[in-house]
Structure 1
Amino acid sequence: MSELKAGERIRYEGDEIRFRLNLRPQVRLTLVTRDGRFVEPEIDGAWQVFRSLSRHGDDAEILVFLEDTAIGHANDVYPAQMRIGESEWSMPEPIGSLRSIILCQLYRKDGVTRLKASNEGHAFGIDAYARARNIEPPRHQRSAPTDVPGHRDLPPSRGGRGSGSGILVTPTLIVTNEHVLEDATGFRVPVARDACRVVGVDPMHDLALIEGEFSGDPIPVRIADPVWLGEDIMAAGYPLSDLLGADLKVTGGHVSGLKGLGGDLSRFQFSAPIGSGSSGGAVVDKQGRLVGVTAASLAHQNVRDHGANSENVNFAIKACLVQELLSAHGFELPTNLSSDGMSPRELTNRLRRGVVQIEVAF
């Protein structure tokens, strides 16, 4: 088996390419055509196969990407192997931590089809990849979170389990990230008195709504006043529960930017430390009012590899979109919740009662 170097080009003859990678739940392999179509491979034993490539046009890219855009990277697919006909190559590994990685590019020049090996990609996942190419990311191909059943006990998995966070915004509704439930076979909310269900999804803004009977107290949502630059905030969630324990973690910081990646006005940047499992957790102001839903964290190592420092660069979905999600599905936020005069200890106790863990089976 030969080793391909990053940027190396080989002549491509045939109409099929095979890949063998260490794929896991929420990491996908796909082919992207020049006009923005995402094509899934066929499965043949240990191989992921793209057939009839000529029908997809002269230019295409084959990439792997992590669908959970909050924490993690897709580098774990390596070592990656490619087979064309009887020839096999090992693919060059990325230098930094990436959430979307281009394995190779197919293109036609001077009447000859060539393949260029690549180890480049994006720290911010499939959305950043799609924005760079002015195409629509493949959200329509994701498992519909509304099909994910809730359980009193976590159901058997296909081989993976995970966890995220959620926020009680009414006595019977929890808001979380869509990607927390994505591709799950089922989920469990420990504070639920019975089985619960997903009743609403906003895939564009990565929000999902879970209905059930829950023990706890809702957190008031701040709607009228937008966050302001430099404002003190607290982040609450359940990061790294398998390592740190399944109790609530609270960190402090401030609003460090009023936009998300690429100028996204639906998100803001904050500096309170978070970790894997924080997704869907609460970002609150000093009065304990919800100002955002934790959604994403910068891939620090990849940024450091480019000579920059990115510690505690995190992003939250603005709270006004929580109200929009509820309204779009016929629900209203409570109007009788108050945070006036709360001490720091009282605020933390409210977060204990209003921010919940969500266990997921894949």
Structure 2
Amino acid sequence: MSKQVELVLGANTVIENTKCSIAFSTTKPLEFGQQLGLLWLPLDANRKAVCSPAYLHESKDWAQLDNKDNPSAWQLDLPQLFNKNNVSFLQLIAYVYHEPSLNLPAVELNDVSLTLNNGDIHYNFTTNDRHVKAAIILEIYQRNEQFKCRALGEASTHGLASLEHHVQVSLDVRPPSTHTLIQEAQQQQRTQPNNEARPPRQVQAGETWTGTAFAIDPYHLLTCYHVIESAAMVGVRQQGQPDREAQVVLSDIGSDSAIIRVSDPLPSYLPLAQQCVDILGETITTLGFPLSGLSSQLQVTQGCISGLIGLNNDIRHMQFTAPIQPGSSGSPLLLPTGEVVGMVTSSLVHEHAQNMNYAVKFQLLSALLASAGISLEHTTDLTSATPLTTPQLSKQSRSALWLVGCQG
């Protein structure tokens, strides 16, 4: 029978059972309205995120929880994670959920007790620092074909936000109630017919609606499929330019994308991104015509790329935080270089799920254009060599943005 190991800060020991169980608890009760949050963050040799973390609200195939509703232990499959995902380190981060609508005392993470493999290893993380919101409390790594764990205590008073830039991954700090609401919304969406099976939009003759489109060469523009769906007539409008009728060249209901064409040359167009890496967290600017019934002026908003997949793990889409409204569909997401990295398509609307907005990835837009035989080689010289400010980006790009008007 193995002897129990009591870890102290900075100490390490071998994990004998690589299908590792880790029980957790707090030895002191948290304040009312606060809950313990835990996440496992896989890192490469340079301590950059390898894949998305496992949370108490989102387990992974390599990190399962004993009870979804009231979890108290993880079950880790270390060989599966390390060997298949090029992982060098796996860090356990503890933090505190709190309900922002409640007037609570300062959020503080005091201590977390960990027990590995039914008592083989024990570590009690404690801190005397004030206002700690998050801490890296354990690290698992592989040495000489053995898995080891190291007791850590890297505390932060700024919460998970202070870790995001360092590891280049977006971390989810929303309280459990938000995830419950989002999961309910996702479940409702799953029970609806998917895009490929849904019936056409039912419109009445003469009914009108609007969206946004952006030019990608002298005659073609990109917009969303749902903008031009069921339209008997499509036109584009821009201040200072004559109205133009447009024809639908190609549309893809799956990615919610469409190409439209005009007969007279357009004044300018935008370069589509060709190859982007490490864009998670990148600043983006959107330009479009939301709520055109109230104003036909071009609107500019700013945010960042907050996720690399869409709702229900849809790899065709990315998530971003720039505010959008009805009519924004078809707006480009612009990098500081002026390149289009995505096209606004949808938003999850709920009072507890703010800025959950989604865009079609540039790779799918490129594929759609290639299917239509449209080359983008002539647009590469439009990319700025140095990052542009938001006013510069707006001034450079606005003449490529068009209000789309549709009539049933």
Normalised-by-shorter TM-score class = 0.5 to 0.7
Q: Does residue 319 of structure 1 match 2:362? A: yes
Q: Does residue 277 of structure 1 match 2:323? A: no
Task: Summarize the alignment of residues 283-302 of structure 1 with structure 2, pairs less than 5 Å apart.
Answer: 283-301=333-351
1:201 aligns with 251
CA distance in 2, matches of 1:354, 1:277: 16
Q: Does residue 247 of structure 1 match 2:297? A: yes
- CA drift of 1:324 comes to 0.5
- CA drift of 1:180 comes to 0.1
Q: Which amino acid aligns with 2:355?
A: N
The one-character-per-residue Cα deviations of 1:298-357 (angstroms, maximum 9, x if unpaired) are 1214xxxxxxx2111100000111110110111111333222246423311122111211
Q: Which amino acid aligns with 1:276?
A: P
- CA drift of 1:140 comes to 6.8
Q: Does residue 350 of structure 1 match 2:392? A: no
Ranges in structure 2 where 5+ consecutive residues have no aligned partner: 1-182
The counterpart of 1:219, out of the listed 270, 275, 297, is 270
- CA drift of 1:189 comes to 0.6
CA contact (8 A) 1:124 1:298 kept: no
The one-character-per-residue Cα deviations of 1:219-272 (angstroms, maximum 9, x if unpaired) are 1111211462211111111101112x1111111111111110111111110000
CA contact (8 A) 1:235 1:252 kept: yes
The one-character-per-residue Cα deviations of 1:184-230 (angstroms, maximum 9, x if unpaired) are 22121124664321111111101000111343311111121146221
Change (3 A) 1:281 1:337: same
CA distance in 2, matches of 1:246, 1:166: 14
CA distance in 1, matches of 2:208, 2:235: 11
What secondary structure, in the 3-state scheme, does the structure 1 residue paired with 2:216 have?
strand
Q: Does residue 332 of structure 1 match 2:375? A: yes
Change (3 A) 1:226 1:180: farther
CA distance in 2, matches of 1:361, 1:299: 26
CA contact (8 A) 2:235 2:244 kept: no
The one-character-per-residue Cα deviations of 1:59-105 (angstroms, maximum 9, x if unpaired) are xxxxxxxxxxxxxxxxxxxxxxxxxxxxxxxxxxxxxxxxxxxxxxx
1:62 aligns with none
Change (3 A) 1:181 1:200: same
Higher mean C-alpha displacement, 333-342 vs 270-279: 333-342
What secondary structure, in the 3-state scheme, does the structure 2 residue paired with 1:356 have?
strand
- CA drift of 1:127 comes to 5.5
Number of aligned positions between the proteins = 219
What secondary structure, in the 3-state scheme, does the structure 1 residue paired with 2:395 have?
helix
CA distance in 2, matches of 1:250, 1:124: 29
2:317 aligns with 267
Q: Which amino acid aligns with 1:359?
A: G
Higher mean C-alpha displacement, 290-299 vs 193-202: 193-202
CA distance in 1, matches of 2:211, 2:278: 24
- CA drift of 1:159 comes to 4.7
The one-character-per-residue Cα deviations of 1:161-197 (angstroms, maximum 9, x if unpaired) are 2110011111111000000011222121124664321
2:214 aligns with 167
Higher mean C-alpha displacement, 262-271 vs 335-344: 335-344
Q: Which amino acid aligns with 1:217?
A: S
Larger Rg: 2
| TM-score relative to the length of structure 2 | 0.49
Q: Which amino acid aligns with 2:211?
A: G
CA distance in 2, matches of 1:129, 1:123: 10
CA contact (8 A) 1:219 1:288 kept: yes
Change (3 A) 1:164 1:299: same
The counterpart of 1:210, out of the listed 260, 272, 289, is 260
